[in-house]
Amino acid sequence: MEFFARLKDYCDILGPSGMEDLVRERIIADIKDSGAEYEVDALGNLIVFKKGKQRRDKKLLVAAHMDEVGFMVTYVGEDGYIMFAPVGGIDPRVVSGRRLVFCKNGIKGVVASKAIHIQKPSEYGMCEPISEMNIDIGCYDRETASQFAKIGDCAAFCPNYEEFGNGLIKSKALDDRFGCALMVDMINSELEYDTYFAFNTCEEIGCDGAAEVCYRIRPDIAVILESTTAGDIYGTPEGKRACELHKGAVISHMDGGTIYDKELVALALNVGKEEEIPCQLKNIVAGGNEASAFQKGAMGARVLAISAPTRYIHSACCVAAKEDLISVGKLARAIIERNI
């Protein structure tokens, strides 16, 4: 399957943290004929070993997470409206008025929001917290609504993959289904060296899946494929943009959870230069990913993150440039083809 067709397929699957089963099943279907060995652990992580032409001196693992941000039902009201909590870090400004779909039964809903012409003056320009929002599924009493949504049920933003503009993609769950799609392409190809791959669960709520993989595989080096916040939007000073679309794969020195291995950062930049793969350095310290779990877990690992610059991350409409996703794939492939 062509990469962007696979990416759309993966992004359209519903898989908030703790509900990655459908994503994992689709990935297994896509790699089952690759000749790779794979297993699913108790936390739902999919761990893959692909034998290469040669054995590595050190154990290398490439990782991406299967889960996306989402929402969990916390209460069903007498009036049929549903209260909920975020699953993962979601800005309330990107939630109000959005269309959601429940993972268990496909029921659609809209996050209720008060129209501006009935707001009080004190409410103008204010975004209510998620704890005060409700989902409207079209029911008018608790008894009816409870047939479709119960406490603990999860929902996600409605699938909406679309290509637009100058080579851009917008979709829910680009973080991190694009990393999953890249790893599937690698697994389905011939590799120079033995390589482990991990499709992790629950990254959005604390990297629980990656922590388990670290203890199980104990890699010497972990390369994380991930999305990272691009700030190239109107009004953001150039020095605070973190990274920008159309400028290639993003390499970080440090984020909210990790100081990355200096030698691996230098290697990534040198490989990018040698192979003429566009790269950029992330210029603010923010965010985080599974690298922290691999760096701190078991005996520790040297870590590197190769990220795709993504606008409006953790929203219903994450935006990335196709050329940047290609650059991330090329750089990751060029690095794992070396015996580092």
Supply the residues annotated as catalytic. 203
10 Å CB burial of residue 80 (0-12, 13-18, 19+) is: buried
Dihedrals φ, ψ of 105, to 5°?
-130, 0
The per-residue DSSP string of 207-235 comes to -HHHHHHHHHH--SEEEEEEEEE---STT
Tell me the pairing of strands 249-251 and 279-281. parallel
Residues with Cβ within 8 Å of residue 33, at least 6 apart in sequence? none
Amino acid at 24: R
At 147, which helix (H) or strand (E)?
none
Distance CA 62, CA 45 (A): 13
Distance, CA of 232 to chain centre: 20
Q: Residue 103 gets which letter from DSSP? A: T
- Copy the structure tokens of residue 320: 């990335």
110, 47 contact by CB (below 8 A): no
**What is the number of other CB atoms lying within 10 angstroms of the CB of residue 269?**
15
The per-residue DSSP string of 123-138 comes to GTT----GGG--EE-S
The per-residue DSSP string of 263-291 comes to HHHHHHHHHHHHTT--EEE--S-----TH
Find the farthest-apart pair of alpha carbons in the chain and give their distance in angstroms, rounded. 69
Nearest partner of 23 among 74, 67, 72, judged by Cα: 67
Q: Residue 13 gets which letter from DSSP? A: S
